[in-house]
């Protein structure tokens, strides 16, 4: 399944909105591919000699490098433009989504009407989304993950999917295989013949990864959880628009209310870099609790780690934490998933942690996988 699939829940951009969206992609590509690689040269040839003059030594760690680079006008200009490009991307998608807000809510009601729906949605009126999601608008997404404007609002989900599609093009990932497709190839190679009957997707956002599991394992019952109500309403309607049954629930991945040993396969996609150390560990422990004998959990994310990186590379990788409202980006880059999987109760011989082979035009996605003895 490709990343940017078309369906009836997508907002329809006007020609002006579409051209602003395309401009924001081109702007991001120019900044990422054109300018960013030259920042290393700026560091070596301009910033380091200047820091040396005043401090008597080169910047020694990523905090000193950040301070030194922030004094450099070339870096400051790039960083400001990169942040502006991200803000502009969200403004460009928000225009269509807020203009279409009522039509999208009505479409969601139609797609999820009791007489036609295949899956379900369970929202918890007492649920309080965690502070990690409400304190900042993660990666500057308009309104944040937990936005709910009332009246069956679905804007948060539409925002995540439309912004995510543009972001992927801006990063050059475009229309390539979805993250779930990569993980499904991993399952087929690593666990041949594995046929999960109950599947759980944690931190599902708009359900872009949940749906491919329902398609790949049509006999399985697929569940998906997230903390945002607007996100989940959209995800449910989107899955119905794509003709598959997924059961969505508003729950915290570190403390679900599913019974012990109730799933054969537990997955998450790109969630670990957006949660705290405690929540990530809680999610891994919860995965183990939920797995049946012979069950498998696979937590996929971006291949982001500080291990083996120079201090300049760490500084460069950390840009998202400091300038793109990603409070847990560096936390995740510092994490050791081998240690975490053990702490969650998976014996080392029942885990596999590493990068998947990159499909053409994609990233070598990282996975932490654990399995239960049959």
Ligand X SMILES: C[S@@+](CC[C@H](N)C(=O)[O-])C[C@H]1O[C@@H](n2cnc3c(N)ncnc32)[C@H](O)[C@@H]1O
- Sheet (strand 291-301) strand order: 120-122, 247-250, 221-226, 198-202, 263-269, 291-301, 366-371, 351-355
H or E element at residue 295: strand 291-301
279 is a site residue for ligand X (CB under 6 A):
yes
Give the range of 61-69, 147-155, 202-210, 324-332 binding ligand X by CB under 6 A: 202-210
- CB 105 → ligand X: shortest distance, Å? 19
Among 226, 240, 320, 340, binds ligand X (CB under 6 A): 226
Among 95, 153, 252, 340, binds ligand X (CB under 6 A): 252
- What does the longest C-alpha to C-alpha distance in the chain come to? 74
Give the range of 58-66, 93-101, 267-275, 287-295 binding ligand X by CB under 6 A: 267-275
Q: Which residues neighbour 131 within 8 Å (Cβ) at sequence distance 6 or greater? A: none
Which residues from 157-186 bind ligand X, rule CB under 6 A?
179
Is 362 within 8 Å of 122 (Cβ atoms)?
no
- CB 208 → ligand X: shortest distance, Å? 4
Q: How far is CA 129 from CA 125, 133, 246, 303, 338, in A?
A: 11, 7, 22, 27, 28
Q: In the complex with ligand X, which residue's Cβ is closer, 245 or 302? A: 302
Inter-residue long-range contacts of 80-87, CB under 8 Å, 24+ positions, other chains counted: 81/27, 81/31, 81/35, 82/28, 82/31, 82/32, 82/36, 82/319, 82/323, 82/324, 83/140, 83/323, 83/324, 85/24, 85/27, 85/28, 85/31, 85/170, 86/28, 86/139, 86/140, 86/324, 87/140
- CB 164 → ligand X: shortest distance, Å? 6
133 is a site residue for ligand X (CB under 6 A):
yes
256 is a site residue for ligand X (CB under 6 A):
no
Look up residue 264 and give its DSSP letter.
E
Is 298 within 8 Å of 372 (Cβ atoms)?
no
Size of residue set near ligand X by CB under 6 A = 25
How far apart CA 242 and CA 90 sit, in angstroms, is 25
Is 149 within 8 Å of 198 (Cβ atoms)?
no
3-state SS, residue 2? strand
Give the range of 37-45, 265-273, 339-347, 351-359 binding ligand X by CB under 6 A: 265-273
86 is a site residue for ligand X (CB under 6 A):
no
Among 92, 162, 181, 275, binds ligand X (CB under 6 A): 275
Q: In the complex with ligand X, which residue's Cβ is closer, 93 or 209? A: 209
69 is a site residue for ligand X (CB under 6 A):
no
Is 220 within 8 Å of 213 (Cβ atoms)?
yes
Which residues from 330-349 bind ligand X, rule CB under 6 A?
none
234 is a site residue for ligand X (CB under 6 A):
no
363 is a site residue for ligand X (CB under 6 A):
no
Q: In the complex with ligand X, which residue's Cβ is closer, 20 or 269? A: 269
| Cβ neighbours around 181 below 10 Å, total | 18
Q: In the complex with ligand X, which residue's Cβ is closer, 160 or 319? A: 160
Q: In the complex with ligand X, which residue's Cβ is closer, 62 or 179? A: 179
Give the range of 10-18, 199-207, 321-329, 346-354 binding ligand X by CB under 6 A: 199-207
Q: In the complex with ligand X, which residue's Cβ is closer, 20 or 236? A: 236
286 is a site residue for ligand X (CB under 6 A):
no
How far apart CA 144 and CA 148 sit, in angstroms, is 9
Q: In the complex with ligand X, which residue's Cβ is closer, 214 or 271? A: 271
For ligand X, the binding residues (CB under 6 A) are: 130, 132-133, 145, 179, 202-205, 208-209, 225-228, 231, 252-254, 269-271, 274-275, 279
């Amino acid at each position: 399944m490709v990343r940017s699939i078309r369906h009836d829940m997508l907002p329809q951009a006007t020609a002006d909105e579409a051209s602003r969206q395309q401009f924001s992609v081109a702007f991001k590509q120019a900044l990422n591919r054109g300018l960013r690689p030259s920042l290393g040269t700026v560091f070596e040839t301009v910033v380091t000699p200047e820091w040396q003059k005043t401090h008597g030594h080169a910047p020694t760690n990523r905090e000193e490098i950040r301070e030194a680079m922030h004094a450099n006008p070339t870096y400051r200009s790039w960083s400001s433009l990169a942040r502006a490009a991200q803000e502009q991307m969200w403004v460009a998608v928000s225009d269509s989504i807020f203009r279409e807000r009522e039509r999208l809510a009505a479409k969601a009601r139609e797609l999820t009407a009791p007489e036609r729906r295949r899956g379900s949605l369970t929202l918890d009126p007492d649920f309080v989304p965690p502070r990690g999601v409400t304190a900042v608008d993660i990666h500057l997404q308009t309104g944040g993950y937990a936005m709910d404007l009332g009246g069956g609002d679905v804007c948060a989900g539409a925002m995540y999917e439309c912004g995510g599609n543009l972001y992927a093009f801006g990063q050059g990932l475009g229309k390539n295989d979805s993250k779930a497709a990569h993980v499904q190839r991993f399952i087929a190679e690593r666990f041949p013949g594995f046929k999960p009957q109950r599947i759980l997707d944690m931190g599902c956002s708009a359900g872009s990864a949940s749906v491919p599991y329902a398609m790949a394992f049509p006999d399985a019952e697929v569940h998906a959880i997230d903390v945002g109500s607007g996100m989940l309403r959209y995800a449910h309607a989107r899955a119905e628009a794509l003709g598959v049954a997924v059961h969505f629930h508003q729950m915290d991945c570190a403390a679900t209310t599913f019974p012990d040993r109730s799933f054969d396969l537990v997955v998450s996609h790109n969630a670990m870099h957006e949660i705290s150390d405690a929540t990530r560990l809680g999610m891994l422990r919860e995965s183990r609790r939920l797995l049946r004998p012979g069950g498998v959990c696979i937590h996929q994310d971006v291949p982001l780690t500080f291990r083996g990186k120079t201090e300049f590379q760490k500084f460069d990788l950390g840009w998202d934490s400091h300038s793109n409202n990603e409070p847990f980006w560096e936390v995740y880059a510092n994490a050791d998933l081998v240690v975490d999987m053990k702490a969650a109760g998976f014996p080392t011989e029942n885990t596999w942690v590493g990068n998947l082979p990159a499909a053409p035009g994609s990233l070598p996605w990282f996975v932490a996988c654990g399995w239960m003895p049959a």
